[in-house]
Amino acid sequence: MTQLPTKTDKKLGLVIDLDTCVGCHACVISCKGWNTENYGAPLSDQDAYGENPTGTFLNRVHSYEVTPLASSAKPHPAAQTIHFPKSCLHCEDAPCVTVCPTGASYKRAEDGIVLVNEADCIGCGLCAWACPYGARELDQDEGVMKKCTLCVDRIYNENIPEIDRVPSCVRTCPAGARHFGDLGDPDSDVSKLVAERDGMDLMPEQGTKPVNKYLPPRPKDDLPEFDVLAPYLEPVAENPGGFIGWLDKALEKI
């Protein structure tokens, strides 16, 4: 049913730390593995060993180069590389849900997870059109729409140890750049993290109100200019001779 719930009890989602993500793709493949074996149809691959291999993925890692604007302090700022994982942001105002003609797309009232009920999906693709983030992919083999499930079949799963009831991508991320939790609860760890690190929305102007947040990279290349640090290199000796002399004195002190 494609009417969005007026409010959801929880806002489960991911917080992704762009300051920490090393772009290793672990989350991408872990997601592929879990969701191929679990929720709904497998994520298929076409021409898997051929000339033009392509397949369904629910999470993909982009990378960008950002060149800071030159300033008097930094006339030639170095460019930065930023790895950028992207999966469904489980938007509060999810356009992908309301456009769906069959009701296959829906947002869960209890936790806000946006899902596709594959049994109802006609594969018209409209929801993917409506998603600004490219978070939905039509599986070529099954002809139904695929998207991040927030691992709904893990996070409540009683067959999994408590500690592992988190999304597959979160559990696997070697750098700990992915955090999972209730962004509706201001006291949750994720909400605190977002507050501390000025977590941001992607394409806020699209009005989708994403639940997932991104932590911006910390300022880079801002080592203080040498003069600030100069005291730490105050010479004790200019030449080896002087150095030996200094040694003698210095050794007395220990």
Partner 1 sequence: MGKQPDLELSPKVSDEIRQTTCYMCACRCGINVHMKEGPDGEKKVAYIEGNRDHPVNQGVLCAKGSAGIMQVNAPSRLRAPLKRVGPRGSGEFEEISWDEAYTIAEGWLRPIRETDPSKLAFFTGRDQSQSFTSFWAQNFGTPNYAAHGGFCSVNMAAAGIYTMGGAFWEFGQPDWDHTKLFMLFGVAEDHDSNPIKMGLGKIKARGAKVIGVNPIRSGYNAVADEWVGITPGTDGLFILAMVHCLMKAGKIDLDYLARWTNAPVLVDKETGLLLRDKDGKELVIDRKTGKPTAFDTPGVQPDLSATHDGHKPVLHHMAERYMADEYAPENVAERTGIPADKIRAIAAELARVAFEESFELPITWTDFRGETHTSMTARPVAMHSMRGISAHANGFQTCRALHVLQIILGSVEAPGGFRFKPPYPKPSKIHPKPHCKVTPGQPLDGPHLGFVHGPEDLALKEDGTPARIDKAYTWENPMSAHGLMHMVISNAYAGDPYKIDTLFMYMANMSWNSSMNSGGVMQMLTDTDENGDYVIPHIIYSDAYSSEMVAYADLILPDTTYLERHDCISLLDRPICEADGAADAIRWPVIEPDRNVKGFQSALCDLGARLGLPGFTNEDGSQKYADYGDYIVNHIRKPGIGPLAGWRGENGDQHGRGDVNPDQLNRYIENGGFFVKHVPEGASYMKPWNSGYQDWAVETGLYDTPQPYLFSLYVEPMQKFRRAAEGHGDIQPPEHLREQVRENMDPLPFWSDPAPANLVDEYPITALTQRPMAMYHSWGTQNAWLRQLHGHNPLYMPTKLMRENGLKDGDWAKVTSPHGTITVPVMEMAALNENTVWTWNAIGKRKGAWALDENAPEATKGFLLNHLIHELLPPKGDGHRWTNSDPITGQAAWFDLKVRIEKAAAPAESQPAYPPIKSPVGKGPKDLAWKVGT
Partner 2 sequence: MHPAPSVIIFTTLSGLGFGLLVFLGLGMPSVTGWTAFWFFLIGYVLAVGGLLSSTFHLGHPERAWKAFSQWKTSWLSREGICAVAALIVMALYGAGLVFFQSQWAVLGWLGALLSLGTVFTTSMIYAQMKTVPRWHMPWTPAKFLTLSLAGGALLAGQVTLAIVLLILAGAITLATWIIGDGQFAKSGTDMQTATGLGAIGQVKAFEPPHTGTNYLLREFVHVVGRKHSQKLRIISGVLAFALPILLLLLPFSHAIAVLAIASHLAGVLTARWLFFAEAEHVVGLYYGKR
Note the residues at the interface with ligand SF4 (CB under 6 A): 21-27, 31, 34-35, 58-59, 61, 83, 85, 87-91, 94-96, 100, 102, 104-105, 114, 116, 121-127, 131, 133, 135-136, 145, 147-151, 167-169, 173, 175, 177-178, 208
Between the alpha carbon of residue 125 and those of residues 12, 18, 146, 250, the distances in Å are 25, 30, 10, 75
Q: Does 204 bind partner 2 (CB under 8 A)?
A: yes
- Tokens 């932590």 correspond to what residue? 215
Using the minimum distance from each CB to partner 2, give the nearer residue, 5 or 160: 5
Q: Which residues contact 211 (CB under 8 A, 6 or more apart)?
A: 11, 12, 13, 89, 90, 91, 92, 112, 183
- Tokens 């992704």 correspond to what residue? 16
User: Two tokens at 83?
Assistant: 């790895």
**Span from 8-16, 121-129, 200-208, 242-250 in contact with partner 1 (CB under 8 A):** 242-250
Min dist. Cβ of residue 227 to partner 1 (A): 8
User: Two tokens at 165?
Assistant: 């009831």
**Span from 29-37, 128-136, 189-197, 233-241 in contact with partner 2 (CB under 8 A):** 128-136
Cα torsion angle, 173, 182, 33, 60, sign: negative
**Hey, is 51 helix, strand or coil?**
coil
Min dist. Cβ of residue 22 to ligand SF4 (A): 5
Q: Which of 5, 29, 42, 84 binds partner 2 (CB under 8 A)?
A: 84
Min dist. Cβ of residue 30 to ligand SF4 (A): 6
B/e letters for 177-198, b = 16+ CB within 10 Å, e = fewer, are bbbbbbbbeeebebbebbeebe
User: Do residues 149 and 115 lie in contact, with contact meaning Cβ atoms separated by under 8 Å?
Assistant: yes
Using the minimum distance from each CB to ligand SF4, give the nearer residue, 21 or 215: 21
Q: Does 156 bind partner 1 (CB under 8 A)?
A: yes
Q: Does 16 bind partner 1 (CB under 8 A)?
A: no
Q: Sketch the per residue contact string, 89 through 128, with partner 1: x for CB under 8 A, - otherwise.
A: -------------xx--x-xx-----x-x-xx--------
User: Do residues 97 and 4 lie in contact, with contact meaning Cβ atoms separated by under 8 Å?
Assistant: yes
Using the minimum distance from each CB to ligand SF4, give the nearer residue, 22 or 66: 22
Q: Which of 82, 99, 124, 202 binds partner 1 (CB under 8 A)?
A: 82
